[in-house]
Amino acid sequence: MCGRTACTLGPDEICQACSVRTMKDGKKQYQAPEWRDHPGGKSYTTSYNIAPSRFTPVIISDHHVRGVKRQSDDEVLSPQRIIQPMMWGLIPPFYKGSSPTGHGLTTNNCRVEDIEEKKSYKPSLIKGQRCVVLCDGFYEWQAIKGEKTKQPYFVYAPQPEGIEIWNRESWDKPGVWSEDEGWRGPQLLKIAGLFSFWISTEGEEVMSYTVLTMESGKKFSSLHHRIPAILETDQDVEDWLDFGRIGYKEALTNLTNEVELTWHPVSTAVNNSRNQEPNINVPVSLDKKPPETASSKLMSAWLSKGSAKKDNSALKDMKREPGKTEAPEHYEEKEKKPSPFSKWIKKESDDNANDN
């Protein structure tokens, strides 16, 4: 946890979705971050079902790319945001090899509780190599009593009215972004992460990341006991990225597990990362009614047809007279209750029969 995500926006759309409000020529406008290709030539590809080792977009401070800029000896410029793809699954700095995935460790998630003790993550933490992982949402699985297969759920940020993050047609319209109004499409999920630089023995340069996780709060614990470290506000994102202003201990303390999230059940097809259907994160019903087979549909149609014929035949046989209606034989009449006088006559008759 988290072990699978979805990210379906293109590079330009992702930058627009992460735009921030700034002052430009004395006027407040929205500015989209710059997109930077991965230095090793690795590219990002949109997907509804992303597993670790794939390259996905993250936000980092430009101080990591261009160096820390100073206006004076005492003043450091606020970091600008850059978005670029990195490999999901942090490559430990101590690993020496030719393949970025050859270290054999599971590093797609990093527990906040022991992050300072892990030699895989502590170097990145100390160097301020903090990033923000971007995605439409992530998948989580819940065990169901009596079932072998766990039920997957798609978890995402609350969306503006009328927008379905799994339905592109609900938001992909002209004017979805402008400098004056910013982004009016789906809200991406922003997760705190750490990243690293690594060079293979063959000279290949790879930037990779890990997702920070923590114990779930009350709201999310009903689905799973762990939750990614979600950054809900633009200020949360800024504080996590600005390693020069906020040290890592304070940055970790600022993370919270009580956040607003939305989730719905999805098809178990997502269990296999090779399944890449566009509708894989669409809500599904958890109704346990067994699916109809061809034979059950045929039988149901035959029974319905036979029942309809029988009812129509019965109605045709009914004789209607003024003030009187005779019911068909298969319609049972309600039993009439005997009157007190009838009961007395029957009792007297029975008594006489017994006397004889």
Give the active site residues.
2, 140
CB-based contacts of 125, cutoff 8 Å, min separation 6? 115, 116, 194, 248
Strands 151-156 and 262-265: antiparallel
> From CA 11, how far away is CA 85, in angstroms rounded?
9
β-sheet bridge partners, residue 151: 142
Structure tokens at 257: 């597990």
Of the candidates 159, 183, 176, the one whose C-alpha atom is nearest the C-alpha of residue 31 is: 183
Instruction: Note whether 223 and 262 are within 8 A (CB).
Output: no
> From CA 59, how far away is CA 356, in angstroms rounded?
107
> From CA 178, how far away is CA 149, in angstroms rounded?
45
Chain-centroid distance of CA 273 in Å reads 15
Structure tokens at 190: 């922003």
Strands (DSSP E) contained in 37-93 are 47-50, 55-61, 81-88
At residue 320, the 3 state secondary structure works out as strand
Structure tokens at 289: 């009614």
Instruction: Note whether 139 and 266 are within 8 A (CB).
Output: yes
Instruction: Note whether 198 and 100 are within 8 A (CB).
Output: yes
Residue type for 326, please?
E
Backbone angles phi, psi at 52, to 5 degrees: -55, 150
What does the DSSP 8-state code read for residue 230?
B
Structure tokens at 227: 């939750």
> From CA 327, how far away is CA 316, in angstroms rounded?
10
